[in-house]
Structure 1
Amino acid sequence: MSSIDSPAQHQTLAILVGVDLGLPHFDQELEELGLLAQTAGMQVAARITCKRRAPDAALFIGSGKADEIKLLAQMHGATEVLFDQSLSPAQQRNLERHMELPVNDRTLLILTIFAQRARSHEGKLQVELARLQYLTTRLVRRWSHLERQSGGIGMRGGPGEKQIELDRRMLGESIKRTKERLQKVVRQRSTQRRQRNRRDTYTISLVGYTNAGKSTLFNALVKARAYAADQLFATLDTTTRQLYLGEAGRSVSLSDTVGFIRDLPHGLIDAFRATLQEAADADLLLHVVDASNPNFPEQMAEVQNVLREIGAADVPQLLVFNKLDMMDAERQPLQLQDTMEVDGLQVPRIFVSAQKGTGLPALRLQLAEMAKAALNESPEIIEADVRLGTIE
């Protein structure tokens, strides 16, 4: 099965490949992979899917399907093959030899987008760390051109081993340096959070699946100019602003964080832990959901998975079902505020359109009520901290 898109000049033409292994979230149309490819600056030439009970150890898809993809690439002039699943280094190397084309997977595609989008010093460091960690497993592939060399007197090990070991050591040193630099960022963020806590600031973090409209909502609430676009991973760097809530008579701290996505590479979760710590340390998570997307339950589940990984599963949430203006007529809610069960708990939910402004006054009121309730719960702790000199 394949669908052809008209190619554009000066862009990498890619064949998209998806393998249905019986998992519930399989994207039959490869829509998300196509959006990722376009976000990375590629043009989709064709899409092809197949079913397997389990991945082939050598080629992931088997030799027959690999031949079919090779012919499809030749037919459309494609210059790269992209898999919707993660490939092992051996599978990637074997596929490239079989198809005589560069073969990459979802993990590298996401890394590429993050590298293109990172703007802050911290974001660039985090992406670099994830890229280096990914490369350490791909060293054999990089030095496959040395395989025809034969050993001689005084040579030990297999072909190209010395160069591989040299690269591995260089990568290890680069990873160590990058981690040390990131640790400084973690300490700086920790200091900033302690200062906010001393000022008795209520902190709110926006979380959600990528392209759910978090940055648009952030801009609408705080009148900021954070970059927002209808694309995956439009924002990578955390932006924090003060949001004044008149109903509560105080300001709160609002942070916009990186969007989540299905099968977000673990290396990226580890690398972005300093950024994602904003969510783990928040008093409230605004879980922004694209209400117009029919797959929103699966997207919500992925966000919950990442929140568990970063230790933010127990932070109170407010569900913000965004893009109300784009919902089909038959799916419009009967009321704009209710509750929804998430992981066995009833969580308050509100429907809004960040683009049109619908529901934002009600959202601000809800935030004010939650902030007042949370801050009024712990006056004894605040007074104790004042006596100890921890609050200025």
Structure 2
Amino acid sequence: MDAKLEMGTQNHQTQTPSSEPPDISIQTVDDLARSETKSISSPIGSSCQHSILYQRTDAATSPAKSRASPNTSTSPTGNLFSADVQSTTPVQSPSTLLLEMSDTEMRHIPNLSEVVYIGLCRDIVTPTEVRIRRDVEDTEEVVMMPLRIIIGYNRMRNGSHREGFRLLTSDNDSMLWLPDHKVICDQSQISLYRIPQHTVILMECEDLPPGYTNLKLMTTSLNRTVDASCISTNNGIYISSFLFRTQCLGFQQARSTYSRFSARHGPCATYNFMGLDIDHAYCFRSLHWPDVAFPWIQRCHLKHWPQDSILSFIIKEGCHIVPISSEPENSETGIDWRISFSGAELKLVYSMNHCQFLCYGILKIFFKGGYYCR
């Protein structure tokens, strides 16, 4: 009886589970994508059946876990990225953990490119989030179109917010222009517009740095802001970028309560709304492609990027002319304007696949010195 009781006690001890929780050191890419990146489909491979080591555990803080049992599966790099079920340590993203690893440790990770892709999608933006954000922005543009017609200004949103980012340094910019003021690149194009319904402005790029132009008023403008910004010279009447920017800043400050503290920021009038800096750039729109930008079209044909349909759309949309001079910042004598291709930039960003878009986002972080946020 004592022998049987002792044997039963031993059997009970062998069947009792260990009090220490088991280590789960492997998490598949599919599980990681569903739980952390909302079902991201990796463009690197359609089937992601390879194991990815996810979370680094500190063996020094847990000596018992560093002694792996014979039945415990360990990673080739000493339990790198292993995840404890009951660990209270916050789970770090793969991209953050990769920055802490050495080259030797990285060589033992299978499909490292997939780890980086999933980590960047989680930390910066996923394809679904980009699509939703862009759809919301595009829908808002269509809905607000009747109101802008009544106000008398057309508007185009650009910047990182319109592209789909939500970085700490993301800018929320808008370009506003008078729809009845038409900017041409050659005098022969004046016949394309109706006068006096349209005010025609001629671009003159001679004797100016590349990317800058003077705006010569060819017909009378009925807009008070434009009329107050004109100066007379021996060659005709020109619109001063400094005077136009000053007039638009006053208009912005008197426009509403939250924008009355607007300040100058380059060619824009900037104000803060609910902790977000918003830039309004009052400018002119040209539906013609300037001569100074024709070499870019040749490079596009040579490099076969972007696609011909996208390139044709960009050329058709033309450019904007923003009130910033090549003269020093506080100069009141500069009358030249800068040619802006923000619309073309936005179209090029929209044409990127998600891997290219993530690389573009990393460059933004490096350039502006800001980090990402969700």
Question: TM-score, normalized by length of structure 1?
Answer: 0.22
Higher share of residues assigned helix? 1
Question: TM-score, normalized by length of structure 2?
Answer: 0.23
If asked which structure has higher relative contact order (CA below 8 Å, sep 6+), I would say: 2
Whose radius of gyration is greater, 1 or 2? 2
